[in-house]
Amino acid sequence: MEKSIFAYQSEPTEYIKSGDSGAIEALIPERFLQRQEPDLPQATEQDVIRHFSRLAGLNYSVDTGFYPLGSCTMKYNPKINEAVADLPGLAGVHPYQDEKSIQGVLELAYGLEQFLLAVSGFQGLTLQPAAGAHGEITGILLIKAYHRLASKKEKRRIILVPDTAHGTNPATAALAGYEVRQVKSDEAGDIDLADLKQNLSPEVAALMLTNPNTLGLFEKNILQVSKMVHEAGALLYGDGANFNALLGLVKPADLGFDVMHFNLHKTFSTPHGGGGPGAGAVGVVEKLIPFLPVPLVKKKGEKFYFDYKVKHSIGKVRSFYGNFLIAVRAYAYFLALGEEGIKKVGRQSILNANYLLRKLKDVYEWPYRRSCMHEFVITPKTGWQVNTLDIAKRIIDYGYHPPTIYFPLIVHEAMMIEPTETETKNTLDEFSAALLSIAQEAQTTPELLKKAPVNSPVGRLDEARAARQLILKYEKAR
Ligand SMILES: Cc1ncc(COP(=O)(O)O)c(C=O)c1O
């Protein structure tokens, strides 16, 4: 266990002694001056470096190990992307620079948009939103603006969301002022067509759908679903968080989606987690282009420019042009993989997930007994004296990041595993061996799993208390 930095007892470090700080003090208004010495840790530079290096070594990341966090697409982030995003001409560009001096930046944004349009089949796009959820609210506001313009007596006040949806979907719809209605899934894990039919009405603005859905299953009735939604005068919103599985195989616009957000930080490989930064580009079909946020990046002859003349624009959704350096990484990723490489992403992610599923499906409960897409959901077997949390904690002892747990909500004790296409067969074999061994332990030594993790710097935490009683700063014992 690493001790607190305050526990170091080195000689006091006196970089600014009270006696010789007069010049600085003279610059600070009296009311801001604090007369007593700050309570700083007394550690040498070497102590500090060692302390933080050791702490940094406790972090778990895609660079240090397998990270099968379902729905998060924790794929390897090629280092070339970082090198490109670090180029001074890109990293150092100022948002108020004149268009003439940022032609390369605009060309890159334009080029990325063309790549995204090519793989999705949409006709218009914005790179502004800063995350998937931000893309969702942008997309739903586009839908709202579209319906408003289509009819003066606009009365579409409902958004339909399947029971498998990620929590951000209903939250987005509610934030945009809609009533949220849930649509059930059927026994096969697809959206229930009868329930959808019953819920569709002239009051429905859109259905928000994730495909593959959060069970890792391809919505096999998607063409029928989009037909039903469109016949009701509603639009089909695509949550593109799982787009990785479709990449190079299917274009969402061909499935009938009218608008979809991309999680650039997932599908197009950017380090993410812990709150960002991300990018939630939004692609749209032709009829929604007049509503896109301003500015759009356009090209005239050899010149690139920002176009603010978007007729019914919903306005800006983010300062300047979004998290641009995430777009740089995504662009580098496209260029590095090339057309042939991009085509293999979806295929390989599906193959990896199915390979892992086949190894685990007879030992764990497998609620939806279909081939999966890029991820799958399993649960502990009935009769085991352990729950999903115990298994997830035990996975830490085996040296892995646990999968997503207790999501999607419709599967009791869900464990959602997404290996991604960047993992080798070796890693998948080792991880499945760990899960099979944990399954054995669940039946022979359940008390061990109840205590897990036992080999980590921090043991089992009281998670409810940790979430409810936040203590975010170190309080030195007096
Ligand atoms: C299915 C799904 N939709 C939407 C989101 C929201 O994306 P973001 O975290 O980038 O806001 C996530 C994030 O995990 C997701 O898994």
Residues 50 and 116 in one domain: no
Residues 319 and 398 in one domain: no
Which pLDDT belongs to residue 25?
79
In a domain, 177, yes or no: yes
Strands 404-405 and 415-417: antiparallel
Query: How many whole angstroms separate alpha carbon 463 and alpha carbon 466?
Result: 5
Residues 143 and 236 in one domain: yes
Number of H helices, E strands in the chain: 15, 12
What's the CA-to-centroid distance between 104 and ligand 1, angstroms?
30
In a domain, 468, yes or no: no
Residues 160 and 308 in one domain: yes
Residue 133 CB–ligand 1 contact under 6 Å:
yes
Which atom of ligand 1 lies at the shortest distance from residue 72's CA? 14
What's the CATH code of the domain at 354? 3.90.1150.10
Query: How many whole angstroms separate alpha carbon 29 and alpha carbon 364?
Result: 66
Q: Which residues contact 172 (CB under 8 A, 6 or more apart)?
A: 133, 136, 137, 140, 208
What's the CA-to-centroid distance between 166 and ligand 1, angstroms?
7
Instruction: State the residue range of the domain holding 356.
Output: 345-459
Which atom of ligand 1 lies at the shortest distance from residue 239's CA? 3
Residues 359 and 329 in one domain: no
Residue 210 CB–ligand 1 contact under 6 Å:
yes
Alpha helices in 132-220 (DSSP H): 132-150, 168-175, 193-199
Residues 283 and 303 in one domain: yes
Which pLDDT belongs to residue 175?
98
In a domain, 71, yes or no: no
- DSSP E strands: which ranges in 282-407? 282-284, 296-300, 303-307, 376-378, 404-405
pLDDT tens, position by position, 53-92: 999 999 999 999 999 999 999 999 999 999 999 999 999 9
In a domain, 70, yes or no: no
Closest residue by CA, ligand 1 atom 10: 132
Helix axes 132-150, 168-175, angle to 10 degrees: 40
Residue 138 CB–ligand 1 contact under 6 Å:
no
Residue 72 CB–ligand 1 contact under 6 Å:
yes
Residues 47 and 112 in one domain: no
What's the CA-to-centroid distance between 241 and ligand 1, angstroms?
6
pTM of this prediction? 0.92
Domain boundary among 336, 353, 383: 336
Residues 314 and 429 in one domain: no
Alpha helices in 58-125 (DSSP H): 79-85, 88-91, 103-120
Structural domain total, the chain: 3
Residues 110-147 as b/e (b if ≥16 CB within 10 A, e otherwise) read bbbbebbbebbbbebbbbbbbbbbbbbbbbbbbbbbbb
Residues 241 and 312 in one domain: yes
- DSSP E strands: which ranges in 380-423? 404-405, 415-417
Partner residues linked to 208 by β-bridges:
237
Which atom of ligand 1 lies at the shortest distance from residue 133's CA? 11
In a domain, 116, yes or no: yes
Residue 71 CB–ligand 1 contact under 6 Å:
yes
In a domain, 249, yes or no: yes
Residues 224 and 354 in one domain: no
Q: Would you state the structure tokens that stand for residue 222, as one six-digit string?
A: 């998607």
Which pLDDT belongs to residue 18?
53
In a domain, 69, yes or no: no
Residues 406-436 as b/e (b if ≥16 CB within 10 A, e otherwise) read ebbebbebbbbbbbbbbbeeebbeebbebbe
Residues 292 and 440 in one domain: no
Contact in structure between 318 and 138 (CB atoms under 8 Å): no
Domain boundary among 336, 358, 390: 336
Residue stretches of the chain with pLDDT short of 50: 16
Residues 209 and 254 in one domain: yes
Which pLDDT belongs to residue 276?
66
Q: Considering just the CA atoms, what is the radius of gyration of the chain in Å?
A: 26
